[in-house]
Homo-oligomer: A and B are copies of this chain.
Amino acid sequence: MSKRETPTIKDVAKLAGVSIATVSRVLNKLAVVNPETEEKVQKAVAKLNYQPNAVARSLKLNRTKSIGILLPEVSNTFFTEIVEQLEHLLSPKGYALLVCSSENSVDEEKRKLSFLLERNVDGLVIIAVSDEGSHFGDLDVPLVMLDRKIEGLSKDVIVSDNRQSAYDITRRLIGDGRRRIGFLGGDPHVHTSVERYRGFVEALTHHGLPVEERFVLHEGMTMKSGYTLMERALSFEDCPDAFFIVNDMVHIGATSYLMEHAPKSVRHTMVFASFDYLHYAPLLRFCHYAVAQPLEEMAKLAVQILTLRIEGDLTDFPSTTVFQPTIVVMKKSEGELSNGSPPPRFNKEFS
């Protein structure tokens, strides 16, 4: 493998017999240049297979055409759906995506943040680890907080109406005649979790139902906690016949516990309502109501705001946009196996 050096603009200039300024002009098309010269340059470019050096350009222009995205976990399906959308929207605009995981740790989040800043990203999309986010306060890089809000932080925020949706699906459960509804999973420092619990409680109280402490099992947002919490729940003699589940991970854990260990009677009556409607949703057999967040629109708005702020075309105060998710009714009947909705990825069906 010959260690041939990559050609620079100088090489092109020399080969074309022009100055490097002219080459630059041809490549960036921001000044008129004689068609003949242009052709000479293009030929030289083609011959050398020249590719401009983005690093040098970044240094000169003081913008890197890159966006940092900082999220709590890379392998979380919900987050990666967002990343996919962002990539799809940003890459046609010439932006690169620097993906960083804060690994669910505030400290790591701080480290990764300054890592991204050192690299001079033009903008940031943040899915915050927790409500402790003071380190995001003082930056002068365009920054959008996505999915999770941090109270008291003056930044652009894009979230779902977690409280309202939680309220809605809880109400659906009540409307179906469920009276003892448990709550599964949660984290007091995660904005979405707190909001969802709030909506859950509101729905219960508005319908004259008590919030039984015993059945509010909100420790953790992982599959494991879903599994063990459901185990705990089933140990109650008067176990709820319905659960509000805080997110998909907990949901999977809870479902698999039921599949493995619950008696038939429980499996035939148990009903879940939960957040997130992702590609494995059709497998979540106890789920009757799911909250589908409008990820594409949220990502689209994030990109809009970000690019506008980067270009300097948006100097308003930071905005907060709250999207209304749709409620997906996953099955109409109570039959254990009839799952009314088709697989979500290729044919979404909203109520």
Check B55 against A260 for contact (C-beta < 8 Å): no
User: For A280, what are the chain B residues with a Cβ–Cβ distance below 8 Å?
Assistant: 252, 280, 283
Chain copies in complex: 2
Residue A343, interface by CB 8 Å: yes
CA distance A51 to B139 in the complex (A): 13
How far apart are A57's CB and chain B's nearest CB, in angstroms? 9
CA distance A345 to B55 in the complex (A): 40
Q: Identify which of B77, B117, B140, B256 contacts A343 (C-beta below 8 A).
A: B256
By size class, the interface of chain A is 35 or more
Residue A88, interface by CB 8 Å: yes
Q: Which residues 22-58 of A sit at the B interface, judged by CB distance below 8 A?
A: 51-56, 58
Could you say which of A56, A103, A282, A339 has the most chain B C-beta atoms within 10 Å of its C-beta? Answer: A282
Q: Identify which of B58, B87, B347 contacts A101 (C-beta below 8 A).
A: B87
Q: Identify which of B103, B116, B259 contacts A339 (C-beta below 8 A).
A: B259
Residue A255, interface by CB 8 Å: yes
How far apart are A249's CB and chain B's nearest CB, in angstroms? 8
Per-residue CB contact flags for chain A residues 324-351 toward chain B (1 = under 8 Å, else 0) read: 0000000000000111101101110000
Check B120 against A53 for contact (C-beta < 8 Å): yes
Q: Which residues 82-119 of A sit at the B interface, judged by CB distance below 8 A?
A: 83-84, 87-88, 91, 96-101, 103, 112, 114-119
User: For A259, what are the chain B residues with a Cβ–Cβ distance below 8 Å?
Assistant: 282-283, 285, 337, 339
Q: Identify which of B140, B283, B339 contacts A3 (C-beta below 8 A).
A: B140
User: For A3, what are the chain B residues with a Cβ–Cβ distance below 8 Å?
Assistant: 140
Check B74 against A80 for contact (C-beta < 8 Å): yes
Could you say which of A55, A66, A227, A342 has the most chain B C-beta atoms within 10 Å of its C-beta? Answer: A55
